[in-house]
Amino acid sequence: MVRVVRTPAGEVMVDPTGKLSGRGAYVCPELDCVNVGVREQRLQHALEVQIPEEIAQVLRGLIHAST
């Protein structure tokens, strides 16, 4: 699972260590999961903030690099 976190400052980041402070949400490490999570606004709902497209791209890149 890949953690995405909204920091106390309101910034959205990918958290590969799982140790960043803030509200977190987990995404399974598959492209379909990332695409559904972004498209259907599941990450946005979980983190209570708009998900920037660059965060979706970072997630896709991490998953692509691990395959």
Per-residue pLDDT tens digits for 5-57: 999 999 999 998 989 999 999 999 999 999 999 999 999 999 999 999 999 99
* Residue 66 in this model has a pLDDT that exceeds 90: no
Domain boundaries, the chain: 2-66
Using alpha carbons, select from 53, 21, 36, 24 the residue that is nearest to residue 61.
53
* Residue 65 in this model has a pLDDT that exceeds 90: no
Q: How far apart are CA 36 and CA 19, in angstroms?
A: 25
Q: Which fold has domain 2-66?
A: Hypothetical Cytosolic Protein; Chain: A; (3.30.1230)
pLDDT band at 64 (very low <50, low <70, confident <90, very high): confident
Q: How far apart are CA 65 and CA 46, in angstroms?
A: 25
